[in-house]
Amino acid sequence: MGFREVPVVGVKEILRLWLSGYGQRTVARLAQADRKTVVRCIEAAREAGLERGDPEDKLTDELLDDVRPGRPPGDHGDSWEALRQQKDFIKGRLAKNLTLVKVHNQLRRHTGSTLPYSSFHRFCVQELSYGRDNSTVRIADCEPGQELQVDFGRIALLFDLDSARRLIVHALIFTAVYSRHMFVWLAFSQTFRVSDRRLRGRMKHSSAGSSRSSSRIT
């Protein structure tokens, strides 16, 4: 029987809706989850001591880890075991600098069976460190107030009642290179307008408390 892992964010959204009083069918529709998954999450939450009407602050990380349905730790399934049996073959092909697609095709011809490419890719990354660069590049430290690093990061999915769909919540992250102080602004898009407006506001705020302004932004 196949397993479908449910992200922690998805489990939390299922239980949050259930605590709010929604029925199982409604929770499944709003959380965009299978109804059987919803039932399993709710049953596991009840066994963990959660009751409908409890406050949302009871949805702790420990409870979500216990409730989250998915594959038992360390169990990757039949495909993973089949790939382990062909580990030397795969490793030898990767040593020749072949692409993963070519190695996957050669593996299919070698074994006579087709294994999912997604599982094959994860196996190569986790078991054979494919695509991982272990080298370290030393970078000289900058002076205080000289460099600010800016980047977006995906936070979670948030269900919007008005549009009846799930929206991706992004974090616009500002990091001062010297002090490592960090400022985070939540947004629903990764547009230049959002980043430029927040960047100008952040630089204005920073310059108000320091005589030195940032001379480099990365």
User: Phi and psi (nearest 5°) for 57?
Assistant: -70, -5
Whether the pLDDT of residue 205 is over 80: the answer is no
pLDDT at 214: 41
Q: Which residues contact 130 (CB under 8 A, 6 or more apart)?
A: 94, 100, 124
The Cα–Cα gap between 155 and 190 comes to 12
In 52-181, the DSSP E strands lie at 147-160, 165-176
Whether the pLDDT of residue 91 is over 80: the answer is yes
| More confident: 155 or 5 | 155
62 in the same domain as 119: no
Q: DSSP states of 167-187 as a string?
A: EEEEEEEEEETTT--EEEEEE
In 25-178, the DSSP E strands lie at 147-160, 165-176
pLDDT at 135: 59
89 in the same domain as 49: no
Confidence of residue 151 (pLDDT cuts 50, 70, 90): confident
38 in the same domain as 12: yes
pLDDT at 161: 81
Whether 140 is in a domain gets the answer no
- Name the strand (E) or helix (H) holding 216: strand 216-217
Whether 48 is in a domain gets the answer yes
59 in the same domain as 84: no
Whether 142 is in a domain gets the answer no
Whether 174 is in a domain gets the answer yes
Q: What is the pLDDT of residues 33-90, one digit of tens each?
A: 888 888 888 888 888 888 888 888 888 877 777 776 655 545 556 778 889 999 999 9
pLDDT at 3: 41
Count up the domains in the chain and report the number: 3
Most confident among 64-73, 108-117, 145-154, 191-200 (mean pLDDT): 108-117
pLDDT at 217: 47
Q: Which domain holds residue 108?
A: 78-128
pLDDT at 35: 84
Residue 46 corresponds to which tokens in the numbers above?
Answer: 């009840």
> Which amino acid makes up residue 53?
G
User: Phi and psi (nearest 5°) for 107?
Assistant: -65, -40
Confidence of residue 147 (pLDDT cuts 50, 70, 90): confident
Residue 11 corresponds to which tokens in the numbers above?
Answer: 């489990």
User: Full-prediction pTM beyond 0.85?
Assistant: no
83 in the same domain as 61: no
Whether the pLDDT of residue 210 is over 50: the answer is no
Q: Each residue of 184-199: b (16+ CB within 10 Å) or e?
A: ebebeeeeeebbeebb
Ordered strands of the 165-176 beta sheet? 182-187, 165-176, 147-160, 216-217
213 in the same domain as 153: yes
Residue 209 corresponds to which tokens in the numbers above?
Answer: 């408390």
Average pLDDT over the chain reads 77
Whether 98 is in a domain gets the answer yes
Q: What is the pLDDT of residues 100-144, one digit of tens each?
A: 999 999 999 999 988 888 788 888 988 888 876 655 666 667 788
Tell me the longest C-alpha to C-alpha distance in the chain: 69
pLDDT at 87: 93
Query: What is the share, in percent, of the chain residues with pLDDT greater than 70?
Result: 75
53 in the same domain as 89: no
